[in-house]
Amino acid sequence: MSQKSTRRKFIGQTAALTAGVGYFASSSPKLFAADSPMQKLTAGCIGVGGKGGSDTSHIAEQGVEIVGLCDVDGSVLVKKGREFASAKQFNDFREMLDQLGDKVDIVTVSTPDHTHASAAVRAMRMKKHVYCQKPLTWSIAEARLMRETAEEMGVVTQMGNQGTSENGLREAVEVIRSGAIGDVSEIHIWSNRPVWPQGLGRPEGSDPVPENLNWDAWIGPAPMRPYKAGAYHSFNWRGWVDFGTGALGDMACHTTNLSVMALKLWDPVAMTAVRNPGIFEGETFPGSSEIKFEFPEREGLSACNFHWYDGGNLPPERIIAQLPKSFQKKVDALKKDPSKRQTSGAVLVGSKGLLFSPDDYGAQYMLLPNDQYTDFTPPEQTLPRIPYEAGNDQRQKWEFVSTVKGEYEPGTMANFGYAGRLTETILAGNLAMRAGQGQRIEWDAATMTSPNVPAVNQFVGREYRAGWELEGLPAVAKA
């Protein structure tokens, strides 16, 4: 056996210690680093345009050799191939993983939501370490399978909610856990999404599939439909329920991350679509929504409600009135002219005060009212800080690659154990979109079913198209 394959086997056996459900692995043996040309880490990258382009480049910046590039769009492959001329090119990730085999240590997955699980689970079962974009999966059932597979295979994983790497977010988590704002009873989070078409039906007719586009691979496990120029590929897929997860799925893995981590917001017991125009013709998410999640007491934390707003919806005036005057002016301008840039933010309402983050990634925060926290000193640090100076996206890649190398013992904070639970929480909200406005959906997270609105259970997962099956999905996904 070669030195290279021996190293990979050892990393696969020991990396399980960093793949658990917690916020990060508190301790683990130091893994062998890639300290010779023969041992240099290699990667195959799936989806290399747009965000996938930067994901590929940022992984390479950490000393990883890119040996495989995969994208359904031939023009994207050609462009990225100029940067990584020695990498083999593929337009189907199944072929890339089959052909490269033991030549790859790391796989990045930066495709539309509906193909995340198909690619990532396949890679993990081959003992590859996986970096996957957010939301971790298209469905709740896939999120459960992803975290279980990561734990079973003992690979290093990371989801691309890069705000997790921000010192400000980690400090804010420590502040909330310290009790600085008291017991949190309400969380209000709003987004400037969607910035793509939603609330529309399927376009009629079809267009010729471009010669350089592998349409079958783009559709992947979803039901086949005709190609229509500009409707789905390459950006507008997020609003379509067969491919994306809407505004909630796109941004909540960023904007709720601080609250979920600090308050252990797993497993809501109920979700209600307070404002719910509904899924339009069974095709796209609505243009705007408001969803309430209910969480019980958990591990000493008070019961609380989490409210999500998108498409221009905002928290009630009693919340807005407690925020900085500068932000209130933004809201006033938006009300007068809805065409103005939408805002994003998060407010945690505690028994002693508020924490407000005006940042999609939780990188900034302030405690309110100001005069109450004039002399506030942050609590003692309990979460690690990434010792690498760069943008949050690059810092998160450093954390991932350094954990694979065994050079960073705290491990990845957005590992699939954490990210899978975060994604399950978020995607449960999309089930509320399937019910009528004001319909309270009770939720049993253990079984991934609603006992009082069983009609939504079929949307916890789905049947995969022939040739793209994913073995091991919970039975509910095949209902």
Examine the pLDDT at 7 and tell me if it is beyond 60.
no
Examine the pLDDT at 32 and tell me if it is beyond 80.
no
Examine the pLDDT at 118 and tell me if it is beyond 50.
yes
CA 347/CA 93 separation, integer angstroms: 40
Examine the pLDDT at 2 and tell me if it is beyond 90.
no
Examine the pLDDT at 255 and tell me if it is beyond 80.
yes
Examine the pLDDT at 108 and tell me if it is beyond 60.
yes
Examine the pLDDT at 326 and tell me if it is beyond 60.
yes
Cα radius of gyration rounded to whole Å, the chain: 22
Residue type, 214: N
Q: Is the peptide bond before 210 cis (omega within 30 degrees of 0)?
A: no
pLDDT band at residue 436, thresholds of 50, 70 and 90? confident
CA 388/CA 145 separation, integer angstroms: 32
The pTM (predicted TM-score) of the whole model is 0.92
Comparing 474 with 50, the larger pLDDT belongs to 50
For position 259, what pLDDT does the model report?
Answer: 98
Examine the pLDDT at 312 and tell me if it is beyond 60.
yes
Q: Is the peptide bond before 2 cis (omega within 30 degrees of 0)?
A: no
Considering only CA atoms, which of 351, 257, 256, 346 is closest in space to residue 303? 351
pLDDT band at residue 476, thresholds of 50, 70 and 90? low
For position 438, what pLDDT does the model report?
Answer: 94
Domains in the chain, start-ordered, CATH in brackets?
Answer: 3-162+389-416 (3.40.50.720), 165-198+242-373 (3.30.360.10)
- The mean per-residue pLDDT over the stretch 166-175 comes to 98
Residue type, 193: R
Residue 467, SS3? coil
Examine the pLDDT at 11 and tell me if it is beyond 50.
no
Question: Residue 467 burial (CB < 10 Å; 0-12/13-18/19+)?
Answer: exposed
* pLDDT tens digits along 443-466: 999 999 999 999 999 999 999 999
For position 20, what pLDDT does the model report?
Answer: 44
Average model confidence (pLDDT) for the chain?
91
pLDDT band at residue 175, thresholds of 50, 70 and 90? very high
Residues 6+ apart with CB under 8 A from 28: 14, 17, 18, 409, 411
* DSSP per residue, 318-359: HHHTTS-HHHHHHHHHHHH-TTSPP--EEEEEESS-EEEE-S
Examine the pLDDT at 50 and tell me if it is beyond 90.
yes
Which range of 6-20, 42-56, 327-341 scores highest in mean pLDDT? It is 42-56
